């Protein structure tokens, strides 16, 4: 049987913006009674918590179903009194650079949001450090407007892309230098892993950018939501355009490094093949000469190679001369 005692919630100044991390029905009722806009941020909400949210705020069953399921496409669903928003950030997992552990890379952070003129509710299954920092910053402070708080949350989530993409840029440079020095299979595997990560990022950034350009006015039209300057949302849109351009440019860079890797490996294989061909060509006349004089014909033994001088001149000398001739020929051709 569940206890009626409410879990501790973050302290907020009496004149600051309430920022809670637990469902406190009495606090929510007090915020509504006073007409105070508040932010409720839930990490890894359970089915029971989602059910309680639906009962407290009267959310549509379809909105609650979307909130319970990950893998949603970035979108904004308008339910007249409130809007349900799916927005994405990213975070780096386990290490960085060319020597990352297996499985390391970029992971998407999916954030679900309920926005109305009375509240902002954010739901996420992965810790988002930027949201924790924003809550700490807002504690005891009054935001300039309700819409500005929505913008601040979206801006924090969007800005998670920049340090991760900067790390991708550094890693591409690192792999490029390593490929020029000594190409290996591990480098090629890392290139393919980065390509997959960027494809996943692009799959959410592009629709997120288009959604912001097409649908964000619907948030400002929600009943009771205090309006603010459109410059903030335009700045958010500019950030998403920049992120999209960075993803496309890094994909092109990865394709270029992949081509360079394949060219470097092909050149090295060609160099090895050339060296082996030279060795085989030098040994070809040696094999012929030793095979010819190795025949035990009486004429060769009694008339051609019947003295020490003839043995040295024809046997050993012909081998040495053939090697010298081929070496001179290869050097003049530029093969050595």
Q: For residue range 1-58, list pLDDT tens digits in order.
A: 333 444 433 433 345 678 888 998 899 998 888 888 899 999 999 999 999 999 999 9
How would you class 139 by CB atoms within 10 Å of its CB: exposed for 0-12, middle for 13-18, buried for 19 or more? middle
Spell out the domain ranges in the chain: 19-266, 272-333
Structural domain 19-266, CATH architecture? 2-Layer Sandwich (3.30)
pLDDT tens string 156-180? 999 999 999 999 999 999 998 888 8
Q: Which residue has the tokens 């060509």?
A: 281
DSSP for 156-174 reads HHHTTHHHHHHHHHHHHHH
Give the confidence band of 294 by pLDDT, cuts at 50, 70, 90. low
199-221 pLDDT, tens digit each: 999 999 999 998 888 877 777 77
Strand 38-43 with 75-78, pairing: unpaired
pLDDT for position 244 = 93
What average pLDDT does this structure show over 103-118? 85
Q: Look at residue 141 and tell me whether its pLDDT is greater than 80.
A: no
Share of the chain above pLDDT 70, in %: 81
Contacts of 317-322 spanning 24+ positions with Cβ under 8 A? 318/289, 319/286, 319/289, 319/290, 322/282, 322/285, 322/286, 322/289
pLDDT at 40: 93
pLDDT of res. 12: 39
Which residues make beta-bridge pairs with 86? 75, 112
Q: DSSP 3-state assignment of 146? A: helix
Alpha carbon distance 73, 62 (integer Å): 15
- CB distance 135 to 10 below 8 Å: yes
- Strand order across the beta sheet in which 19-20 lies: 19-20, 38-43, 119-124, 105-116, 82-93, 75-78
pLDDT at 223: 67
């Amino acid at each position: 049987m569940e206890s009626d005692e409410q879990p501790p919630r973050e302290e907020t100044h009496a004149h600051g913006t309430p920022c809670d991390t637990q469902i406190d029905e009495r606090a929510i009722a007090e915020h509504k009674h006073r007409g105070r806009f508040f932010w409720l941020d839930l990490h890894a909400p359970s089915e029971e918590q989602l059910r309680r949210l639906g009962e407290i705020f009267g959310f549509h069953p379809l909105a609650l179903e979307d909130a319970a399921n990950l893998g949603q496409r970035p979108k904004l669903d308008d339910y007249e009194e409130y809007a349900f928003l799916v927005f994405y950030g990213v975070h780096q997992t386990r290490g960085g650079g060319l020597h990352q552990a297996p499985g390391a890379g970029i992971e998407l952070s999916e954030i679900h949001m309920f926005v109305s003129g009375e509240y902002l509710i954010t739901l996420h299954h992965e810790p988002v450090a930027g949201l924790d920092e924003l809550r700490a910053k807002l504690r005891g402070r009054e935001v300039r407007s309700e819409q500005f708080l929505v913008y601040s949350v979206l801006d924090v989530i969007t800005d998670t892309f920049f340090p991760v993409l900067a790390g991708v840029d550094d890693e591409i440079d690192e792999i490029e230098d390593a490929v020029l020095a000594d190409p290996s299979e591990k480098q090629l595997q890392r290139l393919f892993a980065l390509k997959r990560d960027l494809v996943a990022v692009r799959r959410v950034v592009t629709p997120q950018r288009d959604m912001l350009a097409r649908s964000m006015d619907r948030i400002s039209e929600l009943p009771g939501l205090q309006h603010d300057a459109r410059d903030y949302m335009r700045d958010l849109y500019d950030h998403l355009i920049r992120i999209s351009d960075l993803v496309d440019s890094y994909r092109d860079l990865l394709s270029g490094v992949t081509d360079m890797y394949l060219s470097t490996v092909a050149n090295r294989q060609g160099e090895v093949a050339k060296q082996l061909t030279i060795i085989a060509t030098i040994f070809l006349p040696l094999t012929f000469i030793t095979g010819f004089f190795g025949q035990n014909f009486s004429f060769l033994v009694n008339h051609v190679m019947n003295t020490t001088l003839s043995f040295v001149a024809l046997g050993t000398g012909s081998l040495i001369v053939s090697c010298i001739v081929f070496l001179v020929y290869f050097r003049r051709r530029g093969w050595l």
